[in-house]
Chain A
Amino acid sequence: MTGLAADRRTFLKGLGVLGAAALVPGCATSTKSPGSGSAATGELSLQSNLSSEQAKAAMEKLVAAYNKTGGAQVKLNTVASEIFRTQLPTYLTSANPPDVYTWYAGSVADSYAKKDLLLDVTSVWDGLGNYPKSMQTLSTSTNGQKIFVPTSYYWWGMFYRKSNFAKWGVTPPKTWDDFLQVCRTIQGKGIPPIGIGLGDTPWVASAWFDYLNIRINGAPFHRELLAGRGRFDDAKVKAVFTRWREALPYFDPKGKSFPFQEATSALLAGRTGMFLIGTFFADSAPKDALDDIDFFQFPIIDPAVPVAEEAPTDGYFASRKAKDPDAVKKFMAWLATAEAQETYVQNSSGTAIPANPDGKAADTALVKKGKAMIEGAAELTQFFNRDSSDALQPTADAALTKFLDKPDQLDQILKDWQVAAEKVFTA
């Protein structure tokens, strides 16, 4: 007992020394801080939500590369993605907002443009003639201004382990019927065919809704629906769920209890057969497993519907109150160049594809295949929340998880979803 007390004292003494050391520079910071706003002249502030280790390092390299080109110096400020997401409206509406922000293209950016919070960067787009039409559309606000500069995108696909597919004797399916056949075969081996991870990350289920909807009803219908110009209790939406029910018996029953990161582990360990997920999952895979990973396109259901794919696009927008709009536009024009995007892509996780068509993506078979799939698509969508709003996402999460639990109550679920969505759209 006395020994324990002595240990406690030594521990505290040690900490005392450490604490004293910590306080010396601490005093310096505390006297410096009052009034030091971010309004330093000739400096641009870039607020970034890329807080994971690799992405943060890549951003630091990117900013360092720009600062070497001369002109206004950019100061990178990385905050946790979760904090960024909740605080972005506060940043944008504050009296002295940061100048440039990392964020998403499409309706999420447009919703800020509607509130007149974003800088018009149409002049930057004059130099971006080689960007595809789809990127232009995504970067244009409802009143016709360009408000966004896309820099990279990634794709979604049905990922699987090549060695496991070989072992089970199945080949990647192209059509919905083939897909169900593959599911039956894998289930016959005693393995849940379709992995999913909905605990903590219920939004993963929206990928299924998005893909089934763009395969059955097409991308234009999907976009209209998410923009509030359709109804979730429509017969066409119901058809999506009728298809989904055909695949429902093949979902991993454990998937409701863990997040997608655990579902990735399950896929890699061969506890599930395949997994509909975005390429970001590769960051949570052990390096030795990556060579064994491949994907196939979400199966075609109705050949008459033009093929659309999900390609969430990331990039930058700027505050309308930016202190030096010309310097901001110069920086954003630089971000849109192939070189800048390659710098970022090479230093981050490697599955992102530069938005500039001249930018080279990582030279792996997986990325080449993904890029080819996106470039071959007739239409691009982004993802449920990016095509609608962060406010609509929870309504989808509620409806879809309930559907996975109790598919029999579909009519009631869709009715509730429509009511919840109307509240969001009229708000």
Chain B
Amino acid sequence: MHTRYMRILKFDELELASRRAFFCVSDADLQRLAGLRPFAERHTKEVVDAFYELLLGHPETAKFFPDELAVKHVKKLQSEYFLQLFEGRCDLQYVENRLRVGAAHERIGLSPQWYLGAYRRYLEVLRGCLFADYGPAEAVAHLESITRLVFFDMSVAIDTYIAANVDTIGRHQLAIRELSTPVIRVHERILLMPLVGTIDSMRANQIMDTLLLRVVEEQARHVIVDIAGVPVVDTKVADSLIKTTAAVRMLGTQVIVTGISAPIARTLVQLGVDVSTMHTRARLQEGIELALEMSGKTIVDRARVGS
């Protein structure tokens, strides 16, 4: 998931460099952090314990850690995460690691507000440790380097949530698109595309492309486009209908337009649409019958034939 997020976020060397510059994460900072490694190892337990004290003290976050075992597990992960701050690196591998953790939190539904609050706690505890171990000037300098990388981490964490949302929206859009342009095979080499709802220019394009692909896929001889479910047929809709009909014809397939109500018929004529070359029917059933008839088939009422 996190590699996909890297892609969605376009997190490459260029992005990394510009973000590091913005958060002032310099090589000197990274060197300093690497030098603080022994300090960090000394205080890992203290920092991580304080961190989970906060999380377990609030019902909204405590619910993510149901038992002792779960807490023990996340504490171990958190210790690793914490120590990674002091490895003296901030490259793509580092970002990928951060995204992986962010993605895990996003997946379990831990929202960014708790994430950010927890980071504050991190810095608070670290400040205490730094001032206890070092002189004030040194402690301030160390804290500054830590703050830079922690804020960098926060930006990556927020990005994870954004990437997850972008990903979800993308998948929904795809689903909506497929739902809005269904193509049904009603009989051998006869397709039906029932259009429902408003048709804007983007959807008109999708309708044409989808239909053309399906016609070739199915080698359909006839296509019925039913527009009974389209509330308003204006110039644009009529135009897209004619274009779609023309394009399908160029593949070698005939289009039958059905669902033409009295108001739609009136509109089409008033708009000056040339309907002489179009096969049209008022009702879908008649369209299907016409398609069958053109393919040399008929629907027979057996009761009547028998009598």
- Do the two chains bind? no
